[in-house]
Amino acid sequence: MGVVTQEPQDDQSRPISRWAPPSDVPPAGQPSPDDLVDDERDTAEVPLPGMPAPAAASVPAADTAPLPPMVPPPPGGSLPGFDAPPAPPPSPRTDSSPRRRVPGPIWALAAAVAFLLGVLGGYAGGVLEDQDDMSSLAGGGLDPGSIETDAPLEGDDASIVKVAATLLPSTVQIFAEYQGVEDAATGSGFVFDRNGHVVTNNHVVADAAKAKGSIEVVDHKGRRYKADVVGRSAVYDLAVLDVPEVKELEPASLGSTSRLRIGEGVVAIGSPLGLSSTVTSGIVSALQRPVSTGQTEDDTSYINAVQTDAAINPGNSGGPLVNLVGQVIGVNSAIATAGGGEGGESGSIGVGFAIPIDQVKVTAAQILKTGKATYPIVGASVDVQAADHNGALISVVEAGSPAAAGGLKDGDRVTKVGDVTVTDGIGMIVAIRAHQPGETIEFTVMRNGARHELKIKLEAQTENLA
């Protein structure tokens, strides 16, 4: 549509993912992922697909390989790739002058006296140390703070157990029709409110929604319910389902992304590989990580993501990422992958991405009110292919747009949006979409070597998805 926060018009500015997502189900006539040989691929950020339902309740074994044995160094040599260690220093020179021989009985007496003195000295030293406590250690140059004491807090294993017990009843598995086949795609979701609404990813239910296909959710007790799509957003990769019969389920408690800290413990809950009610844990690895997913203009999403190392796999899509006090702080949506067979599923390498819950709240509220989601635009195209990372290069500013009114020009390079540093076009789109229509944001721009600060008021754009 030719705007920064929409899909640009030409191929050079087309905001598609740098990597193709793994397929949900093999196309007709194509071999299944299990029949394909893994090829090395570049590290990829991909949306978690709707996982094909496992046949006969069996899960195929993951491709594994033993670690190669360590090669011992050759005699007198070193391991390949490592320099040989320096030669040992020469032994101390032995004095060859004659020594007086000490009679045996004298040696025995001396050894006994030394043993007795050692025992008495050790006992006295222990008593003095107990009396002086930490002061004697500090006086000897040792920092008392380095002495290990009782931990003031318990380990977080108990917290994870409590989080799982609290959130599992609010988490559901989703089965959706895919390419005309019922239950061919699976994902996860969580109960959003007491009115029977469930939040999940758009890419879990998009194919079923377009084809008016069947969608069902399964609660933690295995009960299945019919679901309808209230509305969905490809921009934010979110969808809200209406499941009237889940009103009896407890809604998940919602937290705030603004309070998250890097290193904070988190728990991911969902149905990876079709395995319902699976819990994994990790930490918040990074915040405000710009991530783009999707293969086409129709399904491209831009996420100001929460990055985590909690294991997230195909089938986790739409499930909650939860802090250790039991609040949902994100919706699991994408993973990075370092390999996998062509057309096959990709698995966790410890780099997963979740949509921040603050954005989920806003988008879900819009969908519940109008059935549609809105997002901010400025009315300019940006180059998402530039690789110099010196800012977002503006290719076209539309006449009469908010960008034009704010003074943005073709060829400008945007380096900041508000207080967020921008290194490329995707980063700029993500930074804009972290705000809401109607807000006025300061853009820092480099133009002909000079820096300019521009005020641009964000305009609303409504998604019209079937």
CATH of domain 171-248: 2.40.10.10
Query: Is 210:56 a contact under the CB 8 Å cutoff?
Result: no
State how far Cα 291 lies from the chain centre.
10
Tokens of 135: 């002061």
Annotated active-site residue 452? The verdict is no
Q: Which of 188, 203, 346, 383 is catalytic?
A: 203
Q: One-letter amino acid identity for 104?
A: G
Is residue 64 very low, low, confident or very high in pLDDT (cuts 50, 70, 90)?
A: very low
Each domain of the chain, given as residue ranges in start order, spans: 171-248, 374-462
Residue 4 Rama label (left phi>0; alpha psi -120 to 50; beta): alpha
Band the pLDDT of 466: cuts 50, 70, 90: low
221-264 residue pLDDT tens = 999 999 999 999 999 999 999 998 878 889 999 999 999 999 99
Lowest-pLDDT range of 47-61, 396-410, 422-436: 47-61
Catalytic residue among 237, 309, 358, 412: 237
Q: What is the mean pLDDT of residues 440-448?
A: 97
- Is 203 catalytic? The answer is yes
CB 230 within 8 A of CB 242: yes
Known catalytic residue at 150: no
Supply 157's token pair: 């294993």
Q: What is the mean pLDDT of residues 80-99?
A: 38
Reply yes or no on whether the pLDDT at 432 is more than 80: yes
pLDDT of residue 150: 58
> Does residue 279 have a pLDDT over 70?
yes
Q: Are 175 and 53 in contact (CB under 8 A)?
A: yes
Q: What pLDDT does residue 215 have? A: 97
**Out of 317, 346, 381, 401, which one is annotated catalytic?**
317
Tell me the CATH class for 374-462.
mainly beta
Q: What is the mean pLDDT of residues 279-284?
A: 97
Q: Is 428 within 8 Å of 392 (Cβ atoms)?
A: yes
Q: pLDDT over 90 for what percent of the chain?
A: 55
**Average pLDDT, integer, range 384-388:** 77
Place of tokens 């994408």: 334
Kindly report, residue by residue over 3-37, the tens digit of the pLDDT.
344 333 333 333 323 333 333 433 444 444 344 33
Give the number of other Cβ atoms within 10 Å of residue 103's Cβ.
7
pLDDT at 128: 45
What pLDDT does 218 receive? 97
Q: Say if CB 309 and CB 331 are below 8 A apart.
A: no
* Residue 81 dihedral angles phi and psi, to the nearest 5°: 90, -5
Q: What is the pLDDT of residues 92-120, one digit of tens each?
A: 333 333 333 444 444 445 555 455 545 44
* pLDDT digits 0-9 by tens, 333-344: 999 987 654 444
The verdict on pTM exceeding 0.75 is no
Average pLDDT of the segment spanning 142-161: 56
Region for 112 from its dihedrals, namely left if φ exceeds 0, alpha if ψ lies in -120 to 50, beta otherwise: alpha
Residue 410 β-bridge partners: none
Q: How confident is the model at residue 298 (pLDDT cuts 50, 70, 90)?
A: low
171-248 and 374-462 have identical folds: no
pLDDT on residue 244: 85
